[in-house]
Amino acid sequence: MQTLVTFFNEVGWLANLIGIATFVGGGVAFFFRFVQPRIAAARIDKMVPADLAQKWGESMSKAIAKIAIVDDQPADFPVAELKANGYQVQTYKQVTLATTAQLAAYDIVFLDMKGIVKDDPENGGLKLIGELRRLNPSQKVCAVSSKTFDINATEFFRQADDAKKKPLTAHECRAVINQFLAELFDPQVIMASGTQAQQQLPRARRAELVGLMTKFKKQEVSLEQFREGTAKIVADASLAYRMVNLARVAAHAS
Amino acid sequence: MQASVLLSSGAIRTPWPVVIGDVVAAAPELPISETCARKCQEVKLCSAEQRSGEHRCVHGMSFYVTKVGDERALIFGVRGERNDTPLNRYTKDGLKGRSVTQAAIDAWSDGLAKLLLSVETNFRERQAEMLDPLHDPIRLAKQVNTIANRLVQIHSHGATLDQQIANASVELKTLVKASDLLSDAFDLLTIYFNPNAATFGRRGAISPHGLITKLISIFRIDDGGVTRSSARIFMNGSCYRNIFVFESFKLIPFALLSNAVKYSLQGNIEVVVDDRRGHVEFAVTSVGPPIDDDEREKIFQRKGRGRWAERVVDGRGVGLYLAQIIARAHGTAISVSSVRTGSVSDGIPLARNTFSLQLPTA
């Protein structure tokens, strides 16, 4: 230590300054060249535009949200009016249990209980809602059945996020959908999901996810590929779907 | 069906002396032990035990407590696996030949539970089949109600729906009233058959004032005697806050108001909706047959009717029962007060009856 002090005392002040500046500058350059990109590459919350709350509105949620109506009597829904209002609605008179994964990709599902599953017309709706819940816990399901008086249907209604009597008016449909959209795509919800992922996922997974999100944003991967990729990176199915929503919102907002 | 009902029917035989609910059943193969008969003639000491499993009483006998369905079952006067009471001249008659194991008790109670479940499942399936024809009428009732309200909006004038109803033609008013009452009656029927339906869907914010105003405007419609109407309904109190309730909640004021219209014998019907500290209070008051103290719980039970009410008009005793189910689904309860006025109408003493409930505000 004494030798080091003696050395600095013996050289001039300019040489001292250059020596210290070179050391500090080298450290800063190293941080920005190697450390900072690694930190930034794992910041999921930074994928969301800072001004999302100002930018985002109901019309933007409508533009990205996919809605499915699964009912053997589609006339009970004001489909044309909803489409005219800008909602992206797809109707299914019947589905099969084998195609549940396809239905799980929708953000909102209006689901009847009986007669809608080809393989099991009696109890298909109950099986389907359980499977949808398992595959996509973030999905919003509105149970639409006049079977409320049937005690055997209780489990079906209990698993849904909301329940409505048919036929639904356009006003009722819009109220349900807009409430669900707010719960799915509200900027506060999206930011909270980003923060949660940031805290829960290990750094390597976050970096992998941010990389995939960037590719999705640049349209290098499709929504389907992005969804599959996210499911492989994030084990928690609910968080995985919310990460997909976060990326969809981020991509649409920017 | 409950196990005690099955046991009291005599349709099943038990291998041991059993008590389920208030029903005591002796087993033909294992009559009641002499010790039990001698020592516990009136009061069985074992009957107070609530913990499941094997126990021993002070007289040296074993007893088991188990559950069958949602009822407690007591198997008494036996010798359990853990009973180490020595056989002597006092105990041998009570214990000999009465060995029972926990495994045998479990197998018996499981079997009985399976039988009850099978009866219950069968009943539910049959009920669902029988009620299936209701599916379309419920849909159609809602459709008619929606269209009736839309017609009022198109063909009448006024700033609010109740004003539009008031200004509509007699035919349209009658249509709105009939379709509204029909739709609410179907909703009540739904809860009658499936009480769980009271909590279907999610809670939403509603204005109590708006709900009651619309309901009163429906009840006030004079449809020429098609339904019993009352133009004597008045609203008091002030309420500007919202409450978060299930869709079924609207049936409570509907049931209370229907009840008041049905039993009102003198004066006006008063509906109060008032903001209180932290909650909203609903109250419906009318003058009608008195509700005696011993009837205050009975009238909220299925098919329960007051003795004076039965003399006024026919009824099935389901309206208040269903309203109370819905109130309980919202974590509250309807209470009733009845104060005699001293007047008499057609031989029936009159009382000022108030049905009220409180709900926390949003």
Which residues of B fall within a CB distance of 8 Å from A160? Answer: 201
For residue B130, list chain A residues with Cβ-Cβ distance below 8 A.
none
Q: Which residues of B touch A157 (CB under 8 A)?
A: 196-197, 200-201
Map tokens 């200004």 to a residue.
Answer: B167
d(Cα B55, Cα B6) in Å, to the nearest integer?
26
Whether residue B248 is contained in a domain is answered as yes
> What interface predicted TM-score (ipTM) does this complex get?
0.75
What domains can you pick out in chain A, each with its CATH number? 55-184 (3.40.50.2300), 187-253 (no CATH)
Specify the amino acid at residue A56.
W
Tell me which of A138-147, B157-166, B339-348 is least confident.
Answer: B157-166
Residue contact B201–A154, C-beta within 8 A: no
Which residues in chain B are contacts of A152 at CB distance < 8 A? 124-125, 128
* Residue B193 belongs to a domain: no
Residue among A99, A101, A74 at smallest CA distance from A89: A74
Residues B330 and B214 in one domain: yes
Number of domain units in chain B: 2
Q: At which of B100, B134, B163 does a domain end?
A: B100
Q: Does B131 touch chain A (CB under 8 A)?
A: yes
* Structural domain contains residue B313: yes
Using the predicted structure, report yes or no on whether residue B198 has a pLDDT greater than 90.
yes
Query: Which structural domain range is residue B53 located in?
Result: 3-100
* Phi, psi (deg, nearest 5) at residue B101: -105, 160
Distance from CA of B153 to the nearest CA of A (A): 14
DSSP B42: S
In angstroms, rounded to a whole number, what is the distance separating the alpha carbons of residues A94 and A124?
Answer: 10
Q: In this prediction, what percent of chain B has a pLDDT beyond 90? A: 38
Does B207 share its domain with B82?
no
Is residue B76 a part of any domain in this protein? yes
3-state SS, one letter per residue, for A93-153: CCECHHHHHHHHCCCEEEECCCCCECCCCCCHHHHHHHHHHHHCCCCEEEEECCHHHCHHH
Residue B238: give its domain's CATH number. 3.30.565.10
Q: What are phi and psi of A149, to 5 degrees?
A: -75, -15
User: What is the rounded average pLDDT for all residues in chain B?
Assistant: 87
Helices (H) and strands (E) in chain A, counts: 14, 5
Of B81, B100, B119, the domain-final residue? B100
**Claim to verify: residue B222 and residue B85 sit in the same structural domain:** no
Could you list the pLDDT tens digit for every one of the 254 residues in chain A?
677 777 777 777 777 788 778 888 777 666 656 555 555 556 787 788 888 888 888 889 999 999 999 999 999 999 999 999 999 999 999 999 998 999 999 999 999 998 899 988 888 899 999 999 999 999 999 999 888 888 888 999 999 999 999 999 999 999 999 999 999 999 998 888 888 888 888 888 888 889 899 999 888 999 989 999 999 998 888 899 999 999 999 888 87
Nearest residue of B to residue A151, measured between CA atoms:
B194
